[in-house]
Chain A
Amino acid sequence: MADPSTFAATTAGEPAKTDNRWRPYRAVLASRLRSQRSYRTSFRFDMVGAMLAGLVQLGEIWVVFHNAKVLGGLDFNAILLVFGLANAAWAIAEVAVGHVDSLPALIRAGTVDVYYLRPQPLLAQLITGDIQLRRLARVAVGLICVVAALIVNPIQWTVATVVMLAFSLLFGTVIFACLFVTAAGLQFFLINGSEATNAFVYGGSYASQQPAAIWPGPMKIIFGFLFPMAFCAYLPALQILGLPGSPLLPAWLAWLLPVAAAWAVLAAGAVWRIGVRHYQGGGG
């Protein structure tokens, strides 16, 4: 619960205003970090699990490329870069905001009412209410794949290459975070729809790992632009590898990554706000 004096100090405009405003969030986050350090065995087990999860996903891609050497103009080395970038960005987003997927349970149990009563934005409370360090293992898998891909692929290193790598990791993370928030916003309507959320979020991750050139036109519109998944990793990887791309999704589009991320933020914000207003309370 927020300390009432914090809220009072903020509204009164004390000198230490910003410091006080963030104090409740910091206190909650610090407690979550401390709690994870206490259960070391469980924590290690979770880390290994998360790492294996990343490897199983890579295994699936490897099996596909075991049957077809080149898909959508990319070979296994090239798809390794797409997979690494998509995985790292997705995993960072999951560490930062992934726990908003606890919302369906809160809505179903009616406990989300308490969040509405606190003097902090609902989304800010949910995001800062938890942070799962075990999910960092997934980030590591993604980054290792990126490094491996940068070594095995012939790459012309320029400033643009470095900027594109940073773009992909930064704005890719923003797009995935928006996916989590959009899915959470939909929960206010679906009630028991955690499966839909999972599929939404994992579906986005799955789409972002694919060589988008294989998609028929309507899919390029949906996963290229409506949900800008191709922008997270596929388009940046084309830029980095110096590959041309395909009609509707040419490689130069990668430079519009910030625009795609801005679109994702706007859409996620709208869905979330509509969801929060739609909620009628758990009764009782």
Chain B
Amino acid sequence: MGKVIGKSVNRKDGVEKVTGAARYVDDMKFPNLLHAKVLRSPYAHARILEVDTSRAEALPGVKAVITGRCFPNITGLYIGDRTVLAQEKVRYVGDPVAAVAAETPEVAEQAVELIEVEYEELPGLFNPCEAMQEDAPLIHENINQYNHADFIDPVPDSNISNHFKLRKGDVEAAFAEADYIFEDEYQTPMVQHVPIETHSTIARYNLDGKLKIWASAQSPDALRELLGVIFNKPLNQIQVETVPIGGGFGGKAGLTPETPIAICLSSLVRERPVKLTYSRQEEFHCATVRPGIYANYKTGVKEDGDIVAQEIEYIWDAGAYNDYAVNVTKTGGYSCSGPYEIPNVKADSYCVYTNHPVSGAYRGFGMCEVHWGIEQHLDSIAEELGLSPLEIRLKNALQDGSLTVTSEVMQDVAYSECLEVTAEQIELEKEEESTSPTKLRGKGIAGAYKGPSTPPNASSSALIQILADGSINLIITATEMGQGTYTSLAQIAAETLGVAIDDINVSTPNTDYTPHDWQTVGSRTVFSTGNAVVRAAEDAREQLFDYAAEDLGVEAADLDIEEGIIFDTTEPANEDKRVPISKYALGLQYADGSGRGGQVIGRGIYMPEGITNLDEYGQGKTVNHWTFGCHGAEVEVDTETGQVEVLKMTTTFDLGKVINPQLAEGQLEGGLVQGYGTAILEELIIEEGEVLNNSFVDYKIPTAMDIPEIKSNMLETALEEGPYGARGIGEPAMIPAAPAIANAVYDAIGVRIKELPITPEKILQALAEKESKG
């Protein structure tokens, strides 16, 4: 264990958050602030014939009104398919059509109601399986013209925004040799992230053309780059500041519409900042959601449980705009079989436009969706073959030397250990007595793997500034949305530098001053930014040692730092050769008052090495590291009401190196409970494109009363590339919760729920069907 790493130090942002002092975007005040409201489409799919804003503009207190015509530039992170406001068409219920900035929120809302829009309704496409057909009407007529990343493949003249193809081995031959072939279908609905802080932004367009943005944005740099495209601005004319974020989970990643809308409005009333905060209702259906999936599996196995071939089709309901979802579905594609070694795999993952809410990144980035099917399908196969859920997993689990579905060679994999620890802890084989004759107990496990799902060259950077008194500023653009970024990165900095955690202050991301970080997503921050911090700290040490070597007459290689004191490792007790880092913070000073150098500013950059885009068959190494783990669940199913009580859950993940046990455990628990929510409670109920449950009254997330008893286990199989061996954990912790619960439900009552969530009505129906079949 390190001096700082591996310790549960308190959060850097604890005091400001428990006292209410932390200022989130919506808490910020400006004397000349304007308030924005958005007019949204009531139709799922319609042509905009006319927008009349004259009555809104005439309302006293209204300062700016915009429509789609004002800002026609198109953009997107991975595929540019979106404008600030809808142009000629609306593509989902909630598509922004016009927006108003006014002196008060009340006036803005009244003004929005005065805008008249004439629509011509078009037929909607609500099922991706239908929308992907060749003869389906196009939701995006210009799909052939859209710019996209080189690893995204839209299908021309279709609603398929990305077709990811994976071909490994010879599937046909392997199926012919398989002893058994099993086929199965699974589905998950769209769900929402539900951060307690809704999306919020403040934008000020200055008279000199500079943009200043305060946003609850996970990715200040990505946001700035995309805004640069929309507004044709050099990036140094755009300043994005990210104050504390009230929960992100992927929904505040990339470019979300509220910021460009606020900028457009402010551009008409320069120097006046415009605030746009989503209502909870808007958050549910106009912010990002998780895509739905239709998953089809065909799996060939040998009698002993060895999986020899798999054919997979993933069809994603990605909603109206897919600028982020295309990469979710690609990730689903290149991770298609889960953490198992299968020699022959054919997979097609289709990202499909529908007239549903806009989907994108959500904790797990496609992995929750694909593991829902993979991990249940495995249990079904195991049962047919007379194997236990643990046996079939161990038989096929990825381990050192295994090849993934993309033929990447695995190393430092402890997936099997995760499975074994969990199975032992929940006593998977042991049957438990239920509390009542109408209730049945069951246990289940499910595994997961995930990599950060970034482009191969996604990089991070960090600066470490040593101040005159030896205190330190860590300057980064990785954002803090609750996951503990500031604290864990400060621990890495302190450990590497050889100082105390309290000596480190972490800056708030501000793109004018803080160095580039691709995005705070994908559980990549401890790994990628962490590596940059290590390098920045090492760079700072070198600078300190350079000064100290000369000053103390000691070889730089013999110097070390502990608790902020530089000392000679060859004679550590020599007080003459022990000096605080503050002595060299601003350079080396000589006896005559002159000096050399200047402030110690450590610079660290990191870009993963050895990974590239996949080839046309989806083969290669494109993932910078993988995290493995599993969940175990014990449930009690009420066979009369269909209600599932999740009694206990165990979560075991290999974190490589635990930087902060308490915070890491918080990620495991939080992820598990979010996964529990999707298992039991959550779905967007959408009818003809309209979200019917866009409030907390009918979209239920778990309360404290709902949570199971949770046991967490953290393994540490060091990742060679990771800072101190660490792997990402934020998202993985959510992934296997739902299938583990579903497998436990199956164990209890012998029926398999294949479509999330596991509702009481589905249970009762399945039980009735089972009974009628005898």
| A and B co-occur in one complex | no
Partner-B contacts on A (CB < 8 A): none
Binding site for A on B (CB under 8 A): none
